[in-house]
Structure 1
């Protein structure tokens, strides 16, 4: 992944959020290269075999934030043409 930090925010129904998470889980299970996006252009990622995982649950007034992070070394390598590719995308915008 080239460039700096990318943040995307959308409002999804429970079913849409589950579908997006299922797609992400399938991409992680299959490995290779995946393109991840919530809205707008995706970001291509080379997925390793192991991740450092962080889970955070924090109340913010009348809201609750559940955040998870997957971290891995930035190899900087471009994916090979024959590598498995998948796409993980969510709905097209805020409601």
Structure 2
């Protein structure tokens, strides 16, 4: 069961999408705590040095869907080994 789930959908320009990805990229590059602008608010998360990644592309008759999923453990490093 998930403790928290947030989904925000909206239309945006190519430049707005690029800005959103650039902000996420900067947060990933610097690590530590990152504040992500999600809709009307901000979400602060800890980003560790190691992540799992999944990229999925679906192509249909009139639409292309690109999903980039990043996952990481919230357990402390000592807890993750047990």
Q: Same fold (TM over 0.5)?
A: yes
| Residue in 2 that maps onto 1:65 | 65
Instruction: State whether residues 33 and 44 of structure 2, in contact with CA within 8 Å, keep that contact through their aligned partners in structure 1.
Output: yes
Count of residue correspondences: 75
**Separation (CA, whole Å) in 1 of partners of 2:32 and 2:45:** 8
Structure 2, unmatched stretches of 5+, are 77-82
Structure 1, unmatched stretches of 5+, are 77-95
Say which one has the larger Rg: 2
Over aligned residues, Cα RMSD in angstroms? 1.8
Question: Where do 4+ consecutive residues of structure 1 move more than 6 Å?
Answer: none
**Separation (CA, whole Å) in 2 of partners of 1:61 and 1:44:** 38
